[in-house]
Structures are given as C-alpha cells and as structure tokens.
Amino acid sequence: MNAIDLFAGCGGLSKGFMDAGFNIIVGVDNDEAALRTFAANHNGAKALKADLSKQETFDEIKRIAGNKSIDVVIAGPPCQGFSLTGPRNFDDERNKLYLAVIEMVKQYQPKGFIIENVPGMATLYKGTIKDEILRRFTNMGYNITCKILCAADYGVPQLRRRLIFMGIRKDIGMPKFPDAIFNSENYRTCRDALSDLPSLENDLGAEVSDYVSEPQTEYQKLMRKQCNTLHNHVGTNHTQMVKDTIALVPEGGNYKDLPEGWGESRKFHVAWTRYDGNKPSNTIDTGHRNHFHYKYNRVPTVRENARLQSFPDDFVFLGTKTQQSRQVGNAVPPLLGEALGKMILEIIGDKNEKN
C-alpha cells in the first residue's frame, strides 16, 4: 500500500511506515536539509519542498503519485496557530497548515490517516480544538479517534508522549491503536541503546567512523542491522568549565544536584540533566545543550540521540550538526511509526483489493 507524508521532516513516521510494509511515494516539507535526509533514506521516495497551504502543491503530489493509489496519509502538522486564534477561529489563516491536512484527506479520500501532534493539543481550550478536528473528519466520512501514546511502550528507549489521531474510512472499518509491547518494568534504557558506541573521551569522532565493539544488547543489534560503518557520531567541543560542571552531576541528576556556585547560567527544569543509564531518556528535543550522556561528560551525539529515537544506524542524517540535531528532535520515533503502520495495515489490508 502507498502512503504520503506531510510535514515529513527527515521522515521518522514514514520510516516506520516503510518498515511496516508501506511504499512511501512522497514526503513534503519546507526544510531543505531535512528533505535531503528524507530523500537519502526512503527507497527512492520523492522529497518535495512545497507550501502545503497551496492547491498547486496538492496537484504536484497527484502528478508524482501518477496512477498509484494514495492509501494512507500521514502527517505531523504544527499547531501553534490554534494557541493564538482560539477555538472559534478554527479556520483562521494561522491554522492553514493543519487545515491543509484536512483538505488533503478530503481531496484524496485515503483508506486511513495518522496525524501526530504534541500532547498539549488534547487539552487546548478545554479540548475544543481536538473535538473540532474529530467532528470535521467524522463529517468527511471517517471513523476517527485519538489517544496520547508513549513511545517507550513500543520499544523506543525514550519517554516521549505524542497525541495521535487515527482515522479509517467508514466503509472500511474502525480505528484501533496498537497494544503496548513494553511497560515500565521492562522499558528499553539509555544503556541498552548506547553502551556499544565509542566514548569519544579522547577525540571528537567523525561523521563516518568505525564501531569499536560488538553490539551488547538486543536493541543494539536491532539498530545496527547489517551496518559496519558508524555515521553521525561526532562529539561536541565543550569548554573545560562545561565539562567540569557536567562531571558534578550524578547519573539521573540535574542542576539541583550541583554545588552552590556551579551551573548558575542554567536553572530550569531540564538544565544540566544527566540521563539515567537504567531508564529511558527524556524527550529528545531539537537542541543539544541541556541533556548529557549518562556516563560521559558531554551532550549525546546525533547518532546517540537517533538511537534514543529508534532510528537505525543505516539512517544517515545530512546537513550541519545543528540541522541534524533538529531533524532528530522533530521526528516521530520510527518504532512508534512502525507499530501504527502495522495496525493500519491490519485494519485496512483485507479491504485493499476491494477499495
């Protein structure tokens, strides 16, 4: 079955759908570096830089798809506009990117769709935004539900929570979310994810380097696949003061554990956070200044953050290191995407020949 990815970024969600068995036709975004990464990692899928609020973009997607059916639409649109416009201004110009997803589904009538967003959207304006989205898709002929999912429940070594909308065309079936595979008793941990990667204690590494040990956990084997070359594992050249400050933070600690007079420049809830190697990481963000390796006195590399996001090692990030970090932080974890993709296939698969 075929899928298109809107607001694709580097393509974490579509990577998961690809691993679930989908053919990704096109990924649309306006971030040049992210699209270069998308193009390099999605088996020939087209990376399209375009404005999703314009009809000509829809026409171009149709041209790229050609005679292929678009079975599923997946999307991670920004929702900042809603926080400015309020529930009664759903059709405000500032919400045009979210409205573009609704228009895309209306025009293509796919068998199903997935929309991903931040958990806060569920309660924004006492849930009126969420309810309006559910109402509009229901009126367009879809059975739709939404739920906040935690990526760690699906094998991602990260406590990342995301609001997921799933819609299934009414003539096909009902949406259903995949059951959790892991729980707090057996979540994959930072150590499970990272302990086989070079420490970079004596050098900063390189964009392309070698592994220095065999994989030590089942998750590391899963991430390496058939890779024999390590990409994107480059350290940050911290000042001595920063390194000395990190050294004072115990595993699992943060700025509250620093002696008086240390780390004064950063005092907010995630400042100077050192990961606990025996737990999943916190949510990977688009920066790389406030979270530190559970063992080494540095921020995680792009590859380490990619591992914590469940990107396999053969998924190579392009662009500057800052651009790569933003791509990783903005992405949906592929293992979460794969679980959603398999669930949608299960729901609509047996109807594929009939519709």
Rg of the chain, C-alpha, whole Å: 21
Domain 190-330: CATH class, spelled out: alpha beta
Q: What is the pLDDT of residue 63?
A: 96
Q: Which positions are annotated as active-site residues?
A: 79
Residues 2, 23 contacting (CB under 8 angstroms): yes
Q: What is the pLDDT of residue 288?
A: 62
Is the pLDDT assigned to residue 44 strictly greater than 50? yes
* Confidence label for 269 from pLDDT (cuts 50, 70 and 90): low
89-107 core/surface letters (b: 16 or more CB in 10 A; e: else): ebeeeebbbbbbbbebbee
Q: What is the pLDDT of residue 272?
A: 87
- What's the burial of 52, exposed, middle or buried (CB within 10 Å: 0-12/13-18/19+)? buried
Chain position carrying tokens 């025996």: 278
Q: What is the pLDDT of residue 355?
A: 44
Q: What is the pTM of this model?
A: 0.95
Residues 1, 12 contacting (CB under 8 angstroms): no
Q: How far apart are CA 202 and CA 193, in angstroms?
A: 21
Average pLDDT score over residue span 136-154: 98
Tens of pLDDT, residue by residue over 301-323, are 999 999 999 999 999 999 999 99
CB atoms within 10 A of CB 80: 13
Is the pLDDT assigned to residue 292 strictly greater than 60? yes
The secondary structure of the chain, three-state, reads CEEEEECCCCCHHHHHHHHHCCEEEEEEECCHHHHHHHHHCCCCCEEEECCCCCHHHHHHHHHHHCCCCCCEEEECCCCHHHHHHCHHHCCCHHHHHHHHHHHHHHHHCCCEEEEEECHHHHCHHHHHHHHHHHHHHHHCCEEEEEEEEEHHHHCCCECCEEEEEEEEECCCCCCCCCCCCCCCCCCCCHHHHHCCCCCCCCCCEEEEECCCCCCCCHHHHHHHCCCCCEEEEECCCCCHHHHHHHHCCCCCCCHHHCCCCCCCCCCCCCCCEECCCCCCECCCCCCCCCEECCCCCCCCCHHHHHHHCCCCCCCCCCCCHHHHHHHHHHCCCHHHHHHHHHHHHHHHHHHCCCC
Residues 303, 313 contacting (CB under 8 angstroms): yes
Residues near 244 by beta carbon (within 8 Å), at least 6 away in sequence? none
Q: What is the pLDDT of residue 354?
A: 44
Is the pLDDT assigned to residue 283 strictly greater than 60? yes
**What value does the mean pLDDT of the chain take?**
93
User: Which CATH superfamily includes the segment(s) 2-179+333-351?
Assistant: Vaccinia Virus protein VP39 (3.40.50.150)
pLDDT above 90 covers a percentage of the chain that reads 85
Average pLDDT score over residue span 20-25: 98
Nearest to 164 by CA among 102, 100, 113, 114: 114
Q: What are the φ and ψ backbone dihedral angles of 245, each rounded to 5 degrees?
A: -70, -45
Q: Where are the domains of the chain?
A: 2-179+333-351, 190-330
Q: What is the pLDDT of residue 351?
A: 54
Is the pLDDT assigned to residue 261 strictly greater than 90? no
Is the pLDDT assigned to residue 350 strictly greater than 70? no
Q: How far apart are CA 220 and CA 226, in angstroms?
A: 11
Average pLDDT score over residue span 13-27: 98
* Lowest-pLDDT range of 104-118, 195-209, 282-296: 282-296
Tens of pLDDT, residue by residue over 176-218, are 999 999 999 999 999 999 999 999 988 898 999 999 999 999 9
Is the pLDDT assigned to residue 353 strictly greater than 70? no
Q: What is the pLDDT of residue 80?
A: 84
